């Protein structure tokens, strides 16, 4: 891994800081780092992450959970080999409180960069697929201030690399699913509707691509980027998504539900899903998804116990 410091060089276990480490992707990343032999510091204010996500890791003497906002983590002064910054509000969370969220995005990224710079650590920014592709401003999109703030985070990382020589990379994470994912969202709603026996309501005709990448593949991509000198941005996600209706049919088959499919007219403001361009990840990192949809859905359903209690179709 690039960016190692004296802490690792003298024979101690390498140490990683994961901001937002009690969240969905972050908690799986903490587990993977522990499996690699790292000492892991999970920094999370638990505003969206949960202690239950890291319940297994809490039993390890090499894991520590610090309940704090990353922007307020001024007293964290210890050796680090790797900093992975994942502490961001989701778009839906941002809509309810935009000004605090905007401030936390920029302040949190700056603080995480400061921690990596002070320690001489490799820095990985977990960015979002929402800003991939055409990044032109759309003043009619209510998400635009959030997206601008996420673009700012990428700019801050690129500037820190150019100005201070900080060892950084940017990973744009595309839609991810698996155990510990938060309720709601398109996939979560489909599974819940199947469990209740109510129609699975799909937006549009169901022909639109529905990108989904299993969380273990996403974590493997983040670690591959951390291990490389690649500055990014590199896109980690599903490069060949199935149509939405096909995914819905897979959900029905795996749950054993007798629900039917229903269709809703897509709103005029609907944003088409972005599909990951994994060319760079494949060529430079040797990364591509390994977990197929049926396997990933089965693992998700088993972990969340959503197979149980299926209601008859109504």
DSSP string, 113-161: HHHHHHHT-EEEEEEEGGGSS-----TT-TTHHHHHHHHHHHHHHHHHH
Examine the domain organization and report whether 110 and 245 are in the same domain. no
Examine the domain organization and report whether 31 and 88 are in the same domain. yes
250 lies in some domain = yes
Q: How far apart are CA 308 and CA 115, in angstroms?
A: 45
228 lies in some domain = no
Of 126, 156, 173, the one marking the end of a domain is 173
98 lies in some domain = yes
**Res 176 pLDDT > 90:** yes
Number of independent structural domains in the chain: 2
225 lies in some domain = no
244: containing domain: 177-211+239-266+290-304
Residue 306 has what pLDDT?
A: 53
Residue 91 has what pLDDT?
A: 61
Examine the domain organization and report whether 80 and 41 are in the same domain. yes
Q: How far apart are CA 274 and CA 197, in angstroms?
A: 30
The answer to whether 54 and 22 have CB atoms below 8 angstroms apart is yes
Q: How far apart are CA 134 and CA 141, in angstroms?
A: 14
pTM of the predicted protein model: 0.89
247 lies in some domain = yes
Q: The domain spanning residue 204 has which CATH number? A: 3.90.25.10
- As given in the structure block, the two tokens for residue 280 are 């760079």
What's the whole-number mean pLDDT along residues 118-128? 94
**Res 148 pLDDT > 50:** yes
Half-sphere exposure of 259 (CA within 13 A, CB side): 28
**164 assigned to active site:** no
68 lies in some domain = yes
11 lies in some domain = yes
**Res 104 pLDDT > 90:** no
Examine the domain organization and report whether 71 and 150 are in the same domain. yes
Which of 146, 174, 287, 306 is catalytic? The answer is: 146
Examine the domain organization and report whether 157 and 39 are in the same domain. yes
**Res 2 pLDDT > 70:** no
- Hey, is 198 helix, strand or coil? coil
Examine the domain organization and report whether 20 and 149 are in the same domain. yes
What's the whole-number mean pLDDT along residues 272-288? 93
Examine the domain organization and report whether 163 and 14 are in the same domain. yes
285 lies in some domain = no
- Higher-scoring residue by pLDDT: 16, 102: 16
Examine the domain organization and report whether 198 and 139 are in the same domain. no
At 247-268, the pLDDT tens digits run: 999 999 998 999 999 988 877 6
Examine the domain organization and report whether 26 and 123 are in the same domain. yes
Residue 10 has what pLDDT?
A: 35
Of 173, 203, 223, the one marking the end of a domain is 173
- Higher-scoring residue by pLDDT: 147, 301: 301
Examine the domain organization and report whether 160 and 75 are in the same domain. yes
Stretch among 193-207, 247-261, 265-279 having the lowest mean pLDDT: 265-279
Examine the domain organization and report whether 80 and 135 are in the same domain. yes
Examine the domain organization and report whether 43 and 79 are in the same domain. yes
Q: The domain spanning residue 10 has which CATH number? A: 3.40.50.720
Q: How far apart are CA 112 and CA 83, in angstroms?
A: 7
Of 173, 192, 221, the one marking the end of a domain is 173
Residue 22 has what pLDDT?
A: 96
């Amino acid at each position: 891994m690039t960016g190692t410091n004296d802490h690792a060089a003298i024979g101690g276990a390498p140490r990683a800081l994961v901001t937002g480490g009690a969240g969905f992707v972050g908690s799986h990343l903490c587990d993977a780092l522990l499996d690699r032999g790292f000492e892991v510091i999970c920094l999370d204010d638990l505003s969206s992450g949960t202690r239950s996500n890291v319940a297994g890791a809490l039993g390890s003497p090499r894991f520590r959970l610090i309940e704090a906002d990353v922007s307020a983590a001024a007293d964290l002064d210890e050796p680090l080999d790797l900093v992975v910054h994942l502490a961001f509000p989701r778009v839906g969370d941002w809509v309810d409180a935009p000004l605090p969220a905007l401030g936390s995005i920029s302040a949190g990224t700056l603080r995480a960069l400061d921690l990596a710079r002070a320690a001489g650590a490799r820095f990985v920014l977990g960015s979002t697929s929402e800003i991939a592709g055409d990044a032109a401003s759309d003043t009619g999109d209510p998400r635009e201030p959030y997206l601008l703030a996420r673009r700012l985070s990428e700019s801050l990382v690129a500037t820190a690399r150019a100005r201070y020589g900080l060892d950084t990379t940017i990973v744009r994470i595309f839609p991810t699913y698996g155990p510990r994912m938060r309720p709601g969202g398109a996939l979560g709603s489909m599974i819940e509707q199947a469990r209740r026996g109510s129609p699975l309501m799909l937006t549009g005709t169901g022909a639109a691509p529905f990108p989904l990448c299993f969380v273990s593949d996403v974590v493997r991509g983040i670690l591959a980027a951390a291990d490389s000198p690649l500055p990014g941005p590199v896109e980690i996600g599903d490069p060949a998504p199935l149509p939405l209706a096909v995914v819905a049919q897979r959900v029905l088959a795996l749950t054993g539900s007798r629900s039917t499919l229903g269709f809703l007219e897509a709103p005029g403001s609907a944003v088409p899903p972005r599909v990951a361009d994994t060319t760079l990840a494949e060529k430079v990192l040797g990364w591509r998804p390994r977990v197929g949809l049926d396997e990933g859905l089965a693992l998700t359903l088993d972990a969340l116990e959503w197979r149980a209690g299926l209601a008859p179709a109504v």
